A and B are shown apart, each in its own frame.
Chain A
Amino acid sequence: MEEAEVEVESNRDNVEVAPALIAVHPDQTSVAVAVGPDLRVFDLLSGSAASLVDECGAPFHKDSIRAIRYGPRGKLFVSAGDDKTVKIWSTESWRCVCTVSSEKRVSAVAISEDGCHVCFADKFGVVWVVDVPGSDGHVALGDRKPTPLLSHYCSIIPSLEFSPDGRFIVSADRDFKIRVTNFPKKPLNGAHEIQSFCLAHTEFVSCLAFVCSPECPQGLLVSGSGDSTVRLWDISSGVLLDTCVVAAKAGLLESNGEAEEHSHAVTDLCTTLNGSLIAVAIQSLQGIVLLSCDVSAQTLSVSKVVSILGEAFVPTSLGFCPHEGKLWMVTGVSSLPSCNYPSLARVRVISGIDVEQEPVVVGDDKIPGREKLLETLQGSASVDESAFLAAAEAVKTAMCNLLIKKQYPSDNRESRKKTRNDRKLKN
């Protein structure tokens, strides 16, 4: 009985759906997509699907995967989710080298810069750490027990990031807060020194990324939130440097004033190309917004809006490959209840993410890996487009239910308290 999940509704008749996720290897040797419990990896070097081997703990994920990530050096890959397990894979052999059990469902993962520690956040707001010795992934580690690192009291953490210099771990939560904590030399004893809090968002903070450039090696933090803004921060002091109201700037808000509440949440962020461009995915936007970050002036501005024409494609997750300058996007959802399909995923690529070039949405025939990649990652080479609008709606509802505080009307408050022991009428 998870008492911590106080946002459980009494009339929840829709199944909790999970958005599709994508991650790209830093050298673009492989691309991974997670839809529901399925983890699909395509090896671009061999041009075929990677076969995952999991003899570690309970094999494969039994419930929706909520976070996937490649390590900064590309040797490790982590997947975690609602089945309360975190699986660490070697990217060379695609064997699961380690399975970590969590007490609660996992909502975010991060791998330290040196690849020695994997951190994950559970739905109650606790961030756990597990050490991964022999971080090249060759040693099978079996099951490992995590230790608690830090906690956001009773708040879901949708995003976890290490700073590029490895000094800090940044955690963002549903209560609009971003916490920057010093990552200690012995993380297994906990991270107790908070460096700063980055406070200004007025809704849940859904995604974090770091912009680094030669002139700013420690990096500037970029955060996206349910309040439709992307903000730029200096993490050592917690100072807000700039705010970009992306939905308005991208011309998304309707002029009729009847804008749906919470319909333009920023769902994912991805820094590209030495950080000077940031790709932003917004709920209801069929495409992405490219923001440019001026590191010396410490400002953000909208550079371009790239629309995906010809199909209803609202990206649920983004991944960037720095070597090739390509932005990978996926849209999809696990198990739509009213739909025939068990899960949906569609992968698209935008190339030319560069300040000088024009971004171009790559056609299916020109995508690296071509049809084989699409078949592996999507589950089929072509997908029925009409299902995607329903998928986008389902993801939006699920995100709202999860991350937005419920407003309980005051009129039936007394009837809701009927089950309380001190309110029961004594006859």
Chain B
Amino acid sequence: MPETEVKATISKSTGLPRKRFYRARAHSNPLSDSHFPVPISPSQFDYSLHYPQIFTSTDQVDGSRKVQFADIGCGFGGLLISLSTLFPETLMIGMELRDKVTEYVKERILSLRVTNPGQYQNVSVVRTNSMKYIPNYFEKAQLTKMFFLFPDPHFKEKNHRRRVISPFLLDEYAYVLKPALTEKELEADPVVKLLSSATEEGQKVARNGGQTFQAVFRRIVPSDQTS
């Protein structure tokens, strides 16, 4: 039976989506008022949609399992895919502003779930503007790790407001992050090795002989914390 598809966006051999059909510009405007659905509050976040094998119906979300890792600006999903098998019991989500790229990651996860039964059920992606809507997805101190690979420096002063790491946004990231306990945990963490090699961007930099710089920060407990 001949294939009537003009463009096979999913490769027949691997089942994975082909990047060339999901190409997008590197930048999408975080300041614009896009109209994509955003949960009104973290309790409205649909776990059964993102992790169907774990939460088989919307009624079953009892609140005991929540997303713990967030990859902000996950791009084509390289880090998420590596993290998924490294932390199979942890729920994780990627957030990406560009819709084509988000579609690519969705297709990638779906096909990986098919070709690897039982695996990749703990990872998902959502198209959203994380600079505006992080509090809509995550409750206070819900996340144990947040990944920013890699923040665009936006050197020009007029673009400083587009920086994903800024003193104002750090307040929000601190809100959703659990205070970290010890420094020793950081050294032993297997994630740190992934930071330079797991993402497509990191691999491209390595191919071109460039360097990747790591920075790891932890959320501290405020000294004058009231109740």
Binding site for B on A (CB under 8 A): 3-4, 6-7, 124, 126, 148, 150-151, 153-155, 167, 175-177, 179, 181-182, 185, 190-194, 196-197, 199-202, 236, 238, 405-407, 422
Nearest residue (CB) in A for B129 is A153
Residues of A within 8 A of B40 (CB): 176, 199-202
* A305 CA to B166 CA, complexed, in Å: 46
Complex Cα distance, B32 from A227, in Å, reads: 22
The reply to whether A407 and B135 contact each other, CB–CB distance below 8 Å, is no
Which B-chain residue is minimally distant from A406 (CB atoms)? B33
Cβ of B199 to closest chain A Cβ, rounded Å: 24
A200 and B132 contact, CB distance less than 8 A: no
**B224 partner residues in chain A, CB cutoff 8 A:** 185
Query: Could you tell me how many residues of chain B have their Cβ less than 8 Å away from some Cβ of chain A?
Result: 30
Given known contacts A4-B161, A154-B132, A177-B135, A200 and B170 CB-to-CB distance under 8 angstroms: no
Q: Does B61 contact A (CB under 8 A)?
A: no
Residue of B nearest to A151 (CB): B168
Residue of B nearest to A182 (CB): B226
- Determine if B35 and A199 form an interchain contact, defined as CB atoms under 8 angstroms apart: no
Shortest beta-carbon distance from A189 to chain B in Å: 10
Q: Using known A-B contacts A3-B31, A202-B40, A422-B25, determine if residue A153 contacts B132 with beta carbons closer than 8 Å.
A: yes
Assess whether B140 is in contact with A196, with CB atoms less than 8 Å apart: yes
Is residue B89 within 8 Å, beta carbon to beta carbon, of the partner chain? Answer: no
Known: A151-B168, A153-B169, A190-B167. A405 touches B174 (CB 8 A): no
A148 and B168 alpha carbons, distance in the complex (Å):
9
- On whether the beta carbons of A167 and B171 are closer than 8 Å, the reply is no
Out of A6, A175, A407, name the residue touching B132 (CB < 8 Å): A175
Which of chain B's residues have a CB closer than 8 A to the CB of A194?
140, 171-172, 174-175
Distance between Cα atoms of A380 and B30 in the complex (Å): 47
A175 to B35 alpha-carbon distance, docked (Å): 12
Contact A155 B41 (CB under 8 A): no
Report chain B residues within 8 Å CB of A406: 33
Partner of A153, one of B32, B131, B140, B226: B131
B10-33 interface code vs A (CB 8 A; 1 in, 0 out)? 000000000000000100001111
Which chain A positions have C-beta within 8 A of B170?
A: 192
B9 beta carbon closer than 8 Å to chain A: no
CB of A407 to closest CB in B, whole Å: 7
Closest to B131 in A: A153
B222 contacts chain A at the CB level, 8 A cutoff: yes
Determine the chain A residues whose CB is within 8 A of the CB of B111 once the complex forms: none
A6 neighbours in B (Cβ, 8 Å): 31-33
Q: Total number of A-B contacts with CB less than 8 angstroms? A: 74
B82 at the interface (CB under 8 A from A): no
- 11 further contact pairs, Cβ within 8 A, besides A177-B136, A422-B25: A151-B168, A151-B169, A153-B168, A153-B169, A185-B224, A191-B171, A192-B171, A193-B225, A194-B174, A199-B42, A199-B136
Q: Which residues of A contact B225 (CB under 8 A)?
A: 193
Which B residues touch A179, using CB under 8 A? 135
What are 10 A-B interface contacts by the 8 Å CB criterion?
A: A6-B32, A150-B171, A191-B171, A192-B171, A193-B174, A196-B140, A197-B41, A197-B135, A199-B41, A407-B35
B30 to chain A, nearest CB (A): 8
Interface string of B183-227 (1 = CB under 8 A from A): 000000000000000000000000000000000000000101111
B135 engages A154 (CB within 8 Å): no
Nearest CB in chain A to that of B225: its residue: A193
Q: Which A residue sits closest to B41, measured CB to CB?
A: A199
In the complex, what residue of chain A is closest to B158 when comparing beta carbons? A3
In the complex, the answer to whether B41 meets A200 with C-beta atoms within 8 Å is yes
B218 to chain A, nearest CB (A): 15
* Chain B 35-63: CB-based contact to A (< 8 A → 1; otherwise 0): 10000111000000000000000000000
Name A193's closest neighbour in chain B (CB-CB): B222
Contacts of A197 in B (CB 8 A): 41, 135, 175
Could you say which of B158, B172, B174, B224 has the most chain A C-beta atoms within 10 Å of its C-beta? B172
Contact B31 A154 (CB under 8 A): yes
Counting chain B CB atoms within 10 Å of each CB, the highest count among A179, A199, A236 belongs to: A199
A196 to B41, CA, bound (A): 12
Question: Which of B42, B135, B168, B172 is close to A126, meaning CB atoms less than 8 Å apart?
Answer: B168
Given the complex, which residues of B lie within 8 Å of A190, measured CB to CB? 167, 171
A422 and B26 alpha carbons, distance in the complex (Å): 12
State the CA gap A191–B174 with chains docked (Å).
12
Give the distance in Å from the alpha carbon of A153 to the alpha carbon of B225 in the complex. 25
Mark each residue of chain B from 149 to 181: 1 if its CB lies under 8 Å from any CB of chain A, else 0.
000000000100100000111111011000000
